[in-house]
Amino acid sequence: MEKLVMESCLELIDSGIVLGIQDMGAAGLTCSSAEMASKAGNGLELYLDQVPQREEGMTPYEMMLSESQERMLFVVEPKHEAQAQEIFDRWGVICAKVGKVTDDGRLKLIHHDEVVGDMPVKALVDECPIYDKPSQEPAYYKEQAAVDTLRYQEVKDLGGALKKVLGSPSLASKAWVYNQYDYMVRTSTAVRPGSDAAVVTVHGTRKALAMTTDCNGRYVYLDPELGGRIAVSEAARNIVCSGAEPLAITDNLNFGSPEKPEIFWQMEKAVDGMAEACRELGTPVIGGNVSLYNENTKGAIYPTPVVGMVGLIHDTDHITTQASKRKAMRFMCWAIPMPNWAAASSKRSFTGCRKADHRS
């Protein structure tokens, strides 16, 4: 169904009859309709009896907040309704006229010929309340500064140690995941999974797009603001090392309960760091989602603000891969020994220490 929705939406957009389009996020119709009306400076009148429903007897509340996947809200002129309907019918995608645009700046909901909701659009978008939650620096963050990073256990079996580190989930090969999917669909794949970034060509041009997702939750745990900057920077490096120019990012913020001051502190600091890096790189945040309350009796997950970045390769001749380009090439690693986060995974693997010091 996702593929059918995507293709039908692309055809509708290519037809030139679309005035507005919005995907239905976590708040369903409420989110998409209010955001669309706000951006246009208009109002909307929705007829909930016409909204396709997965079961009978759904209430207006349920219809407005339903988070079913693969749903889009379009605005077209009345004279183009039949053309839009024909496109979706041909692709086997359900399409229904559920409302009209108004000029009063209000979102009005009508159910069984009764007005069940009538509110200013601004109250839902531009003037909606903003959370001001308690924020507190966690005790562990201060404790890290007291750790003597020059004292460490001597590793005698270096070979075994290397295997243990490379076998950790954060560093091990992810091939077992991406090999389960057909990554050659539509034959646009120029660089297969396993490289710094995935690269797909743009048909009919010499251009290509590079895409990557990156984040090290342990880094963000140790220093949320710096970890947030590193997540964006790592994504940018992977894009650049693929021969592309970074364009924009989307984020996936994964945290524990924001009702806990320490968790909220992690979240706000990580977002501050990501925002700073995005401003420096000139990469706007064009979308994203949030997953909160990720914890159990043992505690919260590592704060993990995953960054998805896309970049443009202006000419496919500039696509760059990790592989060596000729035989007998020399590889050199240049580094100045200094306290850093590179050993965090090693310390975790050897000691099981969750609170690995960021200067290890």
Domain ranges across the chain: 1-126, 158-321
Mean pLDDT in the chain? 86
Is residue 259 over pLDDT 70? yes
Task: Grade residue 341 by pLDDT with cuts at 50, 70 and 90.
Answer: low
Q: Which of 11-20, 56-65, 100-109, 184-193 has the lowest mean pLDDT?
A: 184-193
Q: Can you name the CATH fold of 158-321?
A: 60s Ribosomal Protein L30; Chain: A; (3.30.1330)
The answer to whether residue 30 scores a pLDDT higher than 70 is: yes
Asked if the model's pLDDT at residue 104 lies above 80, the reply is yes
Residue 345 pLDDT > 60: no
What is the average pLDDT across 18-45? 88
Distance of CA 117 to the CA centre of its chain: 32
Residue with tokens 């010929």: 113
Asked if the model's pLDDT at residue 93 lies above 80, the reply is: yes
Percent of the chain with pLDDT over 70: 88
Structure tokens at 42: 């208009």
Tokens of 135: 């924020």
Q: What is the pLDDT of residue 348?
A: 56
Q: What's the pLDDT score for residue 152?
A: 66
pLDDT tens-digit map of 286-323 = 988 899 999 999 999 999 999 999 999 999 999 988 87
Beta strand segments in 121-154, E: none
- pTM, whole model, 2 decimals? 0.75
pLDDT, average across residues 268-289: 95
Distance of CA 5 to the CA centre of its chain: 20
Give the pLDDT mean for 234-246: 95
- Separation of alpha carbons 13 and 21, rounded Å: 9
Q: Which two tokens stand for residue 319?
A: 């696509």
pLDDT in the model for residue 141: 84
> For residue 74, what are the CA distances in angstroms to 77, 151, 269, 307?
10, 62, 36, 28
| Whether pLDDT at 16 is above 50 | yes
The pLDDT, as a whole number, for residue 129 is 83
CA distances from 191 to 65, 194, 258, 282 (A): 40, 9, 39, 25
Class of domain 1-126: alpha beta
Average pLDDT over residues 172-200: 81
pLDDT band at 166 (very low <50, low <70, confident <90, very high): confident
DSSP 303: P
C-beta of residue 105 within 8 angstroms of C-beta of residue 15: no
Query: How many other CB atoms are there within 10 angstroms of residue 171's CB atom?
Result: 13
